[in-house]
Amino acid sequence: MSRSEEAEWWANAVYGAIQEIPHGRVTTYGHIARLLGEPQRARQVGAVLKSLPSSDSGSHFTSANVPWQRVINTRGMISHRGPGSAQRQADALQQENVEVTTDSMGEWYVDFSRYGWFPTSLPNDDVAGDNL
């Protein structure tokens, strides 16, 4: 089943916003939603990321060009989405020199004070506004 036009717009907006997160930094699902003007849609950001096409899909946005690993939950924790998913995300972040720690329960965390990225607007939006 294909996505509706609105769902397609939302997915493309989420993927585009995530592409703006700098290397070695992280933000939250909720912050991406706020940057897109839809603060109540944090869960939908997660849903869009869950359906991110693989790099061999031929899609414009894929797991190869959307840094999905840079989005974590509001507590600074890597969310579990399936077996090995948290480990895979932790590994991808560590490859960007982001320190990922684990607690006594085996949960993975990133320190927002060191690695957080929380601008008030998307950098590309700022550039576009400068051209007006």
Q: Euclidean distance between the first and final Cα of the chain, in Å?
A: 39
Q: What is the pTM of this model?
A: 0.89
d(CA 7, CA 119): 25
Q: Tell me if 22 sits within 8 A of 74, measured CB to CB.
A: no
- Domains of the chain in sequence order: 5-130 (1.10.10.10)
CA pseudo-torsion sign 116, 29, 64, 110: positive
Q: Tell me if 78 sits within 8 A of 89, measured CB to CB.
A: yes
pLDDT tens digits for range 82-118? 677 899 999 999 999 999 999 998 899 999 999 999 9
pLDDT tens digits for range 120-129? 999 887 655 4
